[in-house]
Amino acid sequence: MTLVAITGTPGTGKTSVSAELRSRGYNVIDMNDHIRSHGLLGELDAARDTHEVDLDLLNDSLQQYRETEDLYLMDSHLSHFMDCREIIVLRCNPSVLAERLEARGYGPDKVRENVQSEILDVILCEATDSDIPVYEVDCSEGDPASSADAVEQIVKGEFSDYLPGRTDWSEEMDRWF
């Protein structure tokens, strides 16, 4: 299978890392664009300020990429739900994540929800439930290029430094819960 998921809590660096990988010649699927262009954007969940997406339809819409030998990286906080070769979860220190989300204009409730999800390893846990190989990259420090270097190592099979379980934000629990 030629699809690799780049996933993580909003604000962890998926878009920046994916842009860097794209500049290096990698095929990167902007899943938000893909969802819109394939008419997969569902109803607005006003309480969470997000749209629903039928994950089965989204997965089916990616079949064309599975039928090629080329490597495609999927950039989305939903990509770990897709059938793929491996999953790379981008992680970010909760304080840094909060700053990034606030800079995007996220309200306090949405910042808190996403930071809590990061502390609780929600996306990492969802990914490891898939039986697909999972890796994690801490994008808290450095620039997108260094995180892209880590993703490149993983897709080239050099993943021993990125096995899950190395990132632990539990010391932030008291601050955010």
User: How do 41-45 and 50-53 pair as beta strands?
Assistant: antiparallel
User: What confidence tier does 1 reach under pLDDT thresholds 50, 70, 90?
Assistant: low
| Confidence at residue 42, expressed as pLDDT on a 0 to 100 scale | 76
pLDDT at 117: 96
Three-point CA angle 98, 165, 76, nearest 5°: 50
User: What pLDDT, on the 0 to 100 scale, is given for residue 45?
Assistant: 72
Neighbours of 134 (CB within 10 A): 25
In the block, tokens 């739900």 appear at: 81
User: Closest by alpha carbon to 169, among 104, 122, 106?
Assistant: 122
Q: What is the pLDDT of residue 49?
A: 67
Query: How far is Cα 128 from Cα 80, in angstroms, rounded to an integer?
Result: 9
pLDDT tens digits along 159-168: 999 999 989 9
How confident is the model at residue 15, as a pLDDT? 95
**pLDDT, tens only, 86-145:** 999 999 999 999 999 999 999 999 999 999 999 999 999 999 999 899 999 999 998 999
Taking only the tens place, the pLDDT of each residue in 25-81 is 999 999 999 999 999 887 767 776 677 889 999 999 999 998 999 999 999 999 999
For the cut 90, the answer to whether the pLDDT of residue 174 exceeds it is no
